[in-house]
Chain A
């Protein structure tokens, strides 16, 4: 009985690049909501920023059920849903008609994989125009990166000097990469697939700045 009870509970599992919230068919409708509440509440920190696949298995889905799932679970807890998985054809039709993503999420694109760990490349000189550094790990420049120079790194880029050239951190898709410049005078910064442009009128010009990705946005933060 104990084993069966465990099987028939709302569970959260880790998947490839996502979390999987499973609502088994076996549990009665009345227990679904308390089960979801308990699981989501208990894994609050895990779910924060994580991407979730909601797996409803063969449970018959009505429009009211979907509505309540959205209001009482997804929106209430701020879940970031990747897709809905269900074997109920009528339910799938409803989900599709609402424009919701259904089915197993696609395998993570290669660019999304975490940066492999490589040694940090320490560049103890200035990079002149036309000089390019490419490195599969972090790059640390003790010197200036002049206009026309380039750094492409799979990890973080730190410029302990004046940054005027082009830097591309997380170039293999690791969007948790950061760019840090002691004196920022560049016209463009790239992290992962995102980029942002600047001119000398930007509030960051000449300052010590950290660049990172939050959600789908490249953000800048002045360093003390």
Chain B
């Protein structure tokens, strides 16, 4: 496989870019690919916390692009998963600390050293997003089933298209099948109808995600939750496997009666 660089972006903030990046990075590394998770959110870094690697940061992305240290030195190796490395963002700098040329150079270097690089983009459509996306080959757009998030995703997809990223694929995060069923939430079909790009995964709204984010243990490390399976499936689809979408409605039936209903096929 040729080295791949994928930007994870959304336009709107708080839809789950960082969580998605962390979970996919872990799942891809577990699949045997040397994976770099790059925090592109200079000044508001989060990926280190979500991955549980915040205590081991010495150097960061800005140090690398400014030549203060070598890339290998700044990469934080994850001890839990073989093949997983984090390039943290600088917390004391801003988006202006990095230029597009520097990002392109950094991406060339990442390509030489890693099979897959995931770049966690900051929210917004300004320089921070452009820097995160400029060196990437492909893109994963994360959105939630809300009108505002979908509109922002549409905006960002237009910009990614004009930057010739391909493929641009969609992760629909935080879906609540019960709410969709009762007509209180936009469903997958409506979102795809507007955004008109390929869907690479639907992640159900799951309390396990909140717990794992706070603990710094991505679900794909070994959790059994439905969200963990959904993220793992996205990773497998990135690697080219064809896997059907999970039946999220069945997973909605929690508890004893849910189990009973499932067991009886109701």
Contacts and interface: CB of A to CB of B under 8 A. Distances in A.
Nearest to B11: A129
Interface in B38-81: none
B196 interface: yes
A129 B152 CA distance: 7
Contacts of A147: 147, 151, 154, 194
Interface string A110-151: 000000000000000010111100000000000010111000
B163 interface: no
Contacts of B151: 129, 146-148
A128 B151 CA distance: 9
Nearest to A126: B196
Interface residues of A, number: 9
Contacts, number: 29
The binding surface of chain A is classed by DSSP as loop
A206 to B, nearest CB: 13
Contact of A129 (B154, B161, B196): B154
B155 interface: yes
Nearest to A148: B151
Interface of B: 125, 147, 151-152, 154-155, 157-159, 161, 194, 196
Interface of A: 126, 128-131, 144, 146-148
23 contacts: A126-B196, A128-B154, A128-B155, A128-B157, A128-B158, A128-B161, A129-B151, A129-B152, A129-B154, A129-B155, A129-B158, A130-B125, A130-B154, A130-B158, A130-B159, A131-B158, A144-B194, A144-B196, A146-B151, A146-B154, A146-B194, A147-B147, A147-B154
The 10 A-B pairs of least Cβ separation, nearest first, read: A128-B158, A129-B154, A129-B155, A130-B155, A128-B154, A129-B151, A147-B151, A146-B154, A131-B158, A148-B151
